[in-house]
Structure 1
């Protein structure tokens, strides 16, 4: 197993951090005393931070054991060990960032409204040991890590009637993340997978549609046959931001779709464009989508692809938001991915976002160059990517868009998008 190391130390075209899915498994811990056969299942609770998804707490389904006295619970009542490994074989010498095998610190032990025990775990941006994705360097891909959590009970549970309980076995259940779980799964006729968020406001006419195009690290990993339809939502808050209550209020309820490339968008944008279009057309047929309010947003590889979509389909989108998008080839002396003539011909209202310290996709030949050529385009150029006092890699400027931070003349980017019509 690789030595634990944060993926932040590696700058890539990938859009996201390392995150994964908990696979059901049994983690048995024998305990002295108690009632033989006492088994408790537990769920892993995760949140997508700006730097990627982390397991932030564990819920032990203990309500059926009886009414637990909350005063008997302390941070030392249980220990939590976590092991995260790659779901696909690694080549000799290959490096995966964010595998781990360690104890998770318990910061609180409380009862929820159902009477289940919730163990909150220590977590933080850039902290190794809680992520659900791993980044395989040679493949340039995030993968969902296989997670195995082991719970150890260190002291008996005290019930309100004075009885004590020692749990004999803990069984791991699902990974729960309400924001991610709110997106349904879909597969288009072309075979491209996607996740879809449907607005709660129904029966009020047609709704806008936001198309989120992920970065290079969130596509499939082929020929490994790894095509998970998960990393697009778990690696960063790009798509999730548009499903928040704030965004839904601003857009008056919007569908949010996140297609997943079978490899990476820059491999062949003109080939992927019709597949994305097919998903959009299918959603328009099946849902009350307002064809005048379809928006495309993408980061890094997806920033390139958002521009490619407005080149290929000039009359489809009401607005485009390319974030740290690639225009110039990342290979020395390689051809431009989008020509100057194509950039100059873009008629879709466009707001570009990047950071000056982006060393993965340098702003000058990419975002700034595109801004100079796309007629009437807007540009937000940050000095660094800092949120809540934490500084991220300069490439991660999608964090700002996911938080509705870019603004011009007092108007923030989501409000600007919502006012655009095709």
Structure 2
């Protein structure tokens, strides 16, 4: 992480002027809070959350032994200022650099300061990913959070004000994402795995396989060698939805497997299908998985790949949920292609989801077409993608599945999946 020169600390000819002097606090207060300067250093932890529009840093935590002396009531939303610089790790270019709006400041039970940051759809400066349009990939940004203590905190007991004299950034924290462990198959395919907390049934737990969209794969062209095992969880809530307490209750505990393509599933469906199956088999060998309750769900590229997996391995899956899928031009001219014969032969229970205003993969030519040919399939065709009053791009119908919105015959899509066995 780059060293920041801010109002916090000014170093001139080897002499250090602490933040207390810059804030105008009495000089005696500079050494009061603790013995040793290191105890006035603070650890800054950016905390992120995957929203419907992608992951954003929604708060930062500040921890330091010096804070134990601070009067809790002296903390306000203007005590600290927050600035972020986000750099693309592949190009070295600054994606954005700006102040973050602090909307609230509170104390945690552990005596940390939590600064809530403005976030949400349309809010700049919070995103953790940058979409590189020329390559169609999301890249996890290097985030540099610079904290400035604008106002001193009142101190308890002798010694005066509490002022932190330096800040050190820790790793990005996202509890939902961090709950998925990092793995790679013997063949080198990255995947993340969520393990349920509750005990599984006599035959083992269900396994939900989430296949990401095109933007979440690796990037190994254009002189890059980027394969991070991150973007498939951070770009949207597709995999995370199945790890929520609500979903875990419905499935009575389920593993969630999120493999990552080295490029994009649509570029080589034939090559990726056995690699995905290898990941499923490795997880099934290592954990108590009920082989009759393996489900495949995917969006966009992953929607195509979920159909491809069913076509290649019809005996494996209890259900298939292709979201805004592509099936290829009917003349077979696309690299990706699901034939009419393959669609007609599918017996795996299938629930297709799409939005009619999708301009990336046409709903009629893909989802509606497939629905007409997969016997007994269910289709949820929305007019647009609107959630919590926000209308998103029409391609983002994965939001509905991640929020368990599609319903049919009184059952939600998660309930339908959980009830199915192969």
User: Do the two structures share a fold, i.e. TM-score over 0.5?
Assistant: yes
2:200–2:253 contact (8 Å) kept in structure 1: no
Moved more, 395-404 or 150-159: 150-159
**For residue 13 of structure 1, what is the aligned residue in structure 2?**
none
Structure 2 partner of 1:194: 191
Q: Partner residue of 2:154?
A: 158
Deviations 1:206-249 (A, max 9, x none): 00000000000000011311000000000000000000000000
Q: Which residue of structure 1 lines up, in the alignment, with residue 70 of structure 2?
A: 68
Within the alignment, does 1:230 sit opposite 2:239 as a pair?
Answer: no
Query: 1:334 deviation in Å?
Result: 4.0
Quick one: structure 1 residues 330 and 99, their matched pair in 2 at CA, closer, same or farther if it must change by over 3 Å?
Answer: farther
SS, match of residue 284 in structure 2: helix
The structure whose Rg is larger is: 2
- What secondary structure is seen at the aligned counterpart in 2 of 1:273? helix
Unaligned 5+ residue runs, structure 1? 1-23, 91-95
Matched, 1:52 2:54: yes
Equivalent residue, structure 1, for 2:13: none
**Structure 1 335/75 Cα, relative in aligned 2: closer, same or farther at 3 Å?**
closer
Q: Which residue of 2 aligns with 1:9?
A: none
Q: Could you say what secondary structure the match of 2:347 adopts? A: coil
Conserved? CA contact 1:27–1:172, under 8 Å: no
Q: Could you say what secondary structure the match of 1:179 adopts?
A: helix
In the aligned structure 2, how far is the partner of 1:343 from the partner of 1:330? 12
| 1:300-359 Cα shifts (integer Å, max 9, x gaps) | 000000000000001100000000000124999647611111111111100000000000
Q: Which residue does the alignment assign to 1:12?
A: none
Partner Cα distance (1:194, 1:84) in 2 = 26
Report the aligned-residue RMSD.
1.8
Further displaced range: 393-402 or 276-285 = 276-285
Residue 12 of structure 2 corresponds to none
For the 8 Å contact 2:330–2:339, the answer to whether it is kept is no
Name the CA distance, whole Å, in 1 between partners of 2:306 and 2:336. 15
TM-score normalised per structure 2 = 0.90
Q: For 1:333 and 1:186, locate their aligned partners in 2 and report how far apart those are by CA, in whole Å.
A: 35
CA distance in 2, matches of 1:355, 1:244: 24
Equivalence for 2:130: 134
Check if 1:371 corresponds to 2:368.
no
Aligned to 2:270: 270
**Which moves more between the two structures, 378-387 or 152-161?**
152-161
Gaps of 5+ in 2: 10-18, 22-26, 32-36
Q: Give distance in 2, aligned partners of 1:63 and 1:369.
A: 62
Tell me the residue number matched to 1:43: 45
Q: What residue number does 1:308 align with?
A: 308
Instruction: Quote how far apart the aligned CAs of 1:161 are.
Output: 2.4
